[in-house]
Structure 1
């Protein structure tokens, strides 16, 4: 009996669990997220629903937004008028099986019939065959990968739990706004009749979505169909990335999330993360800062980290190191005044001696007021250099080739700034004078950058 159970475990792992992990973590043979631009994708599962889908379509039309509907075939069969309206109003219609049942619980032939039956229903209503597929709950099995020539599997990058009414419109809005970024593929539901969902939940989703679309308009973001996002992504460097490099990026980003959790990093701008920070005691050798100040072992510092996921995305969107550097400069220029405001309002942060980080740079941070110092030789310096070289090979537009050029310049350095200087320089940015002064400094740096100089690439 134990042998039989063991074999069942092996088979189920090979058939279901391992493919699911590979697709979720590394995006293998599935589409999960777009890149760059000012576009994001709204996707809706489980419909159409006669009560909520018409209101959703009205809302999308009001804001000029396009979306992708992954419809359940049996629901589409009952409400063909809603499928016709989706199609007529320019939305993409995808497949979500004929019934909402996990692919792990069906044989490969049954899954194929579910897809084909739903595909035939969509074709019979719209005259077009759908080639985009989202398995229920996003659960893929081993044989789903073999359908690549017939359908494109689409998962998501942002899920909010909007099928539960206890989440409420306010909390759902907060979660959606926190993930309102270019390239995001948002998962929402326009039907609450699925097992485990609350029938009234789409009411709260519609309220949160309206506020999200209003904010998207303010930020200059727009919702597009998944197929348009895929076409744009296929033109990006990410689409040409080898599976080995994708694996490296996936593992690296998992480590990033673990690091943030372990060390309880806080984020300067949670809605669009770039700078993270934590308060701790300095443990290194004495470092001389500006204003005649020295940083000694035991002094309290605000340690800063650049968001590596953002660095990776910037790298994928940039055609050169100079363009990548300019993106980083602009984000630093935006986040440092916000950080100054946070520090000014938090007594424990304001009492810290310095803002501190480690970065692989040649020049750049000094334009923002940081002192740039050599990292003392030792095990920490060697490990940091090794880590940052891997990081740079991932985010740099030239990839690993960058490491072969001027490798002697790729050394980690300390960047530090007295907290008093942070507050003086950035605390009054809204006053105008210092804002213009700092913008001029950033402009000089942009003009001065070459492909051999890359500010950023901060270590953990």
Structure 2
């Protein structure tokens, strides 16, 4: 009996669990996120619903937003007028199986029939075939990958738990606004009849969505269909990456999440992460700071880390190292005042001696008042250079080719800034005269950075 159960576990893992992990973490043969500058994607599962879907369509029309509906075939069969309206109003109609049942629990032939039946229903109503598919709960099995030629599997980058009524409108709105960023694929539900969902939950979703669409309008963001987002993404450098490099990126970003959890990193701007930090004792050799003080082993420091996902996305959207450098400088310009405010309001942070990071040599940090010093030779320096070299090959616009050019310049360096330099005696924020002078000299800054080496990523 135990042997039988063990074999069932192995088969189940090979059939469903492992493919699910591969698709969720590494994005293998699925679409999860776009690369737009001003576009995001609203997607709705489980409908159509005769009570909530008409109101949702009215709301989308009000804000001129386009969406993608992954419909349950049996629901579409009962509400053909709603499917017809989705299509007529310019939305994309996708497939969510004929019944809302996990692909883990169905044989490949059964899944194929579910998809085909739903597609036939959509075609009978709209006159167009659907080639976009989201499996219920986003769960794929081994054979779902083989159907890629017939349907494109679409998952998501942002999920909010909007099927739970207890979440509340305010909390749901907060979660949605926090992920209102270009390229996001938002998962929402216009029907609450699925197992585990609350029937009245879509009421709260509609309220939160209206606030989100209002904010999107104010920020110049617009919701587009998944097919439009995919077409734009397929023209990007990321689409031309080999699977091996995408796997490397996936593992790298997975390590990023583990590192943040293990070392309890905090984020300067959680809504759009870019700069992370933690308070820790300094472990290096004694160094002199610009304010005349010395940094000794055991002194408290604020260690800085740039968000690797944001760094990767900036790299993918940049045509050159100079453009990437300029974009990073601009992001740092926005982050530093918030970091200063956080430090000023936290007694333990304000008592730290210095801001500290490790980076590939560049002149970017010097623009913010950091001092760049050599990293003492040793095992840590060697491991850091190896890690940053991999990082460089992943996010640099020139890819691994950059490592072959002027490799002697790609040396890890320490960057340091006294906390007293970030905050003056009156607790004023970083946005003082020095920052204003730097902003007034924007043209000079960009020209200088264009000559600089790649701005480097802070090592973990």
Q: What secondary structure does 2:413 align onto?
A: strand
Q: What secondary structure does 1:449 align onto?
A: helix
Q: Is residue 364–residue 445 contact of structure 1 (8 Å, CA) maintained in 2? A: no
Q: What secondary structure does 2:423 align onto?
A: helix
In the other structure, the counterpart of 1:142 is: 142
In the other structure, the counterpart of 2:123 is: 123
Q: Is residue 279–residue 349 contact of structure 1 (8 Å, CA) maintained in 2? A: yes
Give structure 1 stretches of 5+ with no counterpart: none
Q: What is the deviation of 1:217?
A: 1.8
Q: What secondary structure does 2:155 align onto?
A: coil
Within a 5 Å distance, the mapping from 1:148-163 to structure 2 comes to 148-163=148-163
Question: What TM-score does the superposition give when structure 2 sets the normalisation length?
Answer: 0.97
Q: Distance in 2 between matches of 1:246 and 1:273?
A: 22
Q: What secondary structure does 2:269 align onto?
A: coil
Q: Is residue 306–residue 456 contact of structure 1 (8 Å, CA) maintained in 2? A: no
In the other structure, the counterpart of 1:379 is: 379
In the other structure, the counterpart of 2:239 is: 239
Q: Distance in 1 between matches of 2:250 and 2:261?
A: 17
Q: Distance in 2 between matches of 1:67 and 1:137?
A: 19
Within a 5 Å distance, the mapping from 1:408-447 to structure 2 comes to 408-424=408-424, 427-428=428-429, 433-447=433-447
Render the CA deviation track for 1:292-311: whole Å, top value 9, x for unaligned.
Answer: 12211111111110000100
Render the CA deviation track for 1:95-151: whole Å, top value 9, x for unaligned.
Answer: 000100011111111111111111111111111111100000001111111111111
Q: What is the deviation of 1:429?
A: 5.5
Q: Is residue 329–residue 442 contact of structure 1 (8 Å, CA) maintained in 2? A: no
Q: What is the deviation of 1:283?
A: 1.0
After superposition, the Cα gap between the structure-2 partners of 1:378 and 1:429, relative to the gap in structure 1 and judged at 3 Å, is closer
Q: Is residue 31–residue 154 contact of structure 2 (8 Å, CA) maintained in 1? A: yes
In the other structure, the counterpart of 1:216 is: 216
After superposition, the Cα gap between the structure-2 partners of 1:224 and 1:451, relative to the gap in structure 1 and judged at 3 Å, is farther
Q: Is residue 367–residue 441 contact of structure 1 (8 Å, CA) maintained in 2? A: no
Q: What secondary structure does 2:292 align onto?
A: coil
After superposition, the Cα gap between the structure-2 partners of 1:294 and 1:441, relative to the gap in structure 1 and judged at 3 Å, is farther
Within a 5 Å distance, the mapping from 1:84-103 to structure 2 comes to 84-103=84-103
Q: Distance in 2 between matches of 1:283 and 1:239?
A: 41
Q: Is residue 362–residue 456 contact of structure 2 (8 Å, CA) maintained in 1? A: no
Q: Distance in 2 between matches of 1:443 and 1:260?
A: 36
Give structure 2 stretches of 5+ with no counterpart: none
Q: Is residue 101–residue 136 contact of structure 1 (8 Å, CA) maintained in 2? A: yes
After superposition, the Cα gap between the structure-2 partners of 1:119 and 1:312, relative to the gap in structure 1 and judged at 3 Å, is same
Shifted more, 419-428 versus 157-166: the winner is 419-428
Q: Distance in 2 between matches of 1:131 and 1:91?
A: 14
Q: Distance in 2 between matches of 1:350 and 1:137?
A: 45
Question: What TM-score does the superposition give when structure 1 sets the normalisation length?
Answer: 0.97
Q: Distance in 2 between matches of 1:285 and 1:180?
A: 43
Shifted more, 55-64 versus 112-121: the winner is 55-64
In the other structure, the counterpart of 1:400 is: 400
Q: What secondary structure does 1:70 align onto?
A: strand
Q: Distance in 2 between matches of 1:53 and 1:346?
A: 47
Q: What is the deviation of 1:427?
A: 3.8
Q: What is the deviation of 1:452?
A: 6.2
In the other structure, the counterpart of 2:112 is: 112
In the other structure, the counterpart of 2:195 is: 195
Within a 5 Å distance, the mapping from 1:266-285 to structure 2 comes to 266-285=266-285
